[in-house]
Homo-oligomer: A and B are copies of this chain.
Amino acid sequence: MKDIYIADLAAFDEGKLFDGYFLVLAKQQRTTKSNKPYLSLILGDKTGQLEGRIWEPNDPRIAKEFERGDVVKARGSASRFDERLQMKVDQLRLAQPGEVDKTDLMPSTTYDVPSLWRQLLSFVDSFTNSDLKLLLATLLADPGLSAAYREAPAAKQLHHAWLGGLLEHVISLLTLADRVAPHYPLLDRDLLMTGVILHDIGKVRELSWEIGFEYTVEGSLLGHIQIGTALTERTIDSLPNFPPKLKTLVLHMILSHHGKLEFGSPKLPMIPEALALSFLDDLDAKMQAIQVEFDKCIREGKSANEMTGKVWALDQRQMLNTKRWLGADKE
């Protein structure tokens, strides 16, 4: 297990020495403005990334043979540049297989994945519509797909995304949809829940998460909406008696879930379940983004009277942590 994580370094004094295991996300030869050459690394672990700089690449304590994707053990000291944390790397070697757990090296959900997965299956189990239940059971029983579903992040940008992020987002949405559905009698609960489970399923092929999170070429050209729709359609077509109308509705849920044409949905929601899905999906994504920002403010020691930085998911708006602000007088 790792001892030191990138997020811990924020509290370090300038120049403090430390060592740790990291995943090499990028490696490039660079030169400073004053013409000094160095090797620039992007190092990542589950808590974040930082730039590492090797000023003496020929130092015998620096391994020669390592590449993007390798796990390394590095020793050096912390510094700050233009608000961003950096590491001056003095020693670096390749890690031995087994020396460090790979899940320590990529950001991942703080929830227990097997437990999230059981919740997902149990929601499916609660369906009264047997066609939808069979569709989901079939899809989620596919070993390759279910493994990917458990691992996939929900988005590319590291600060919004982590291994298991897709599953975590879906469970939050299922719980929320389960609360909202009974409030509107015109909603078909099982269809809504099916939409929640399938809406982002195309992300398992739109993104790759081997070394950092990236769009695949297929993902760039087709997008997760098309990939997810095709995957779902293929599964439905393998079921002998799936009702054609229900197929149209399920596909429409996936196609329209972004809620606006300009967000890449080729169709706007035209059934109540699709409208509700697009609202709840958007609300849940924004609530998670706000929570992340509030946590970050506390971690960075901002006062309760300060607003957050500009939140990308909220059109660069700054938010105020209500509860903390109200409580500030009592602190």
Is there an interface contact between A272 and B251, defined as CB atoms closer than 8 Å? no
Q: Say yes or no for A36: interface residue by CB 8 A criterion.
A: yes
A282 within 8 A of B: yes
Q: Which of A62-70, A119-127, A262-270 is found at the contact surface with chain B?
A: A262-270
Shortest Cβ distance from residue A28 to the other chain B in the assembled complex, whole angstroms: 9
State whether A322 touches B222 (Cβ < 8 A): no
- Is the CB of A183 closer than 8 A to any CB of chain B? yes
Distance, CA A81 to CA B79, complexed state (A):
20
Interface residues on A, range: 35 or more
Q: Which of A220, A270, A271 has the most CB of B within 10 A?
A: A270
Cβ of A86: which chain B residues have Cβ within 8 Å of it? 31, 35
User: Do A286 and B275 have beta carbons less than 8 Å apart?
Assistant: yes
The residue of chain B having its C-beta at the shortest distance from the C-beta of A182 within the complex is: B179
Please tell me if the beta carbons of A319 and B81 are within 8 angstroms of each other in the complex.
no
Complex interface: chain B residues within 8 A of A220 (CB): 270, 307, 318, 320
Given A29-B80, A217-B307, A272-B290, are A264 and B264 also a contact pair (CB < 8 Å)? no
Contact residues of A: prevailing secondary structure? helix
Oligomeric state, in number of copies? Answer: 6
Choose from B246, B272, B291 the contact partner of A186 (Cβ within 8 Å): B291
Chain A residues 220 to 240 lying within 8 A of chain B, measured CB to CB, are 220-223, 225-226, 229-230, 233-234, 237
Please tell me if A111 contacts chain B, counting CB pairs below 8 Å.
no
Do the beta carbons of B186 and A180 come within 8 Å of each other? no
CA distance A275 to B319 in the complex (A): 10
Q: Is A37 on the interface with B (CB-CB < 8 A)?
A: yes
Find residues 153-187 in chain A having any chain B CB closer than 8 Å to their own CB.
172, 175-176, 179-180, 183-184, 186
Q: Is the CB of B279 within 8 A of A188?
A: no
Q: Which of B245, B267, B279 contacts A223 (CB 8 A)?
A: B267
- Asked whether A151 is an interface residue with its Cβ less than 8 Å from the other chain, the reply is no
Q: Once bound together, how far apart are the Cα atoms of A179 and B246, in whole Å? A: 28
The chain A residues found within 8 Å of chain B, CB to CB, are 14-15, 29-37, 53, 55, 79-82, 86, 88, 172, 175-176, 179-180, 183-184, 186, 188, 191, 217-218, 220-223, 225-226, 229-230, 233-234, 237, 243, 245-246, 248-249, 251-252, 255, 261-268, 270-273, 275-276, 279, 282-283, 286-287, 290-291, 294, 305, 307, 314-315, 317-323, 325-326, 329
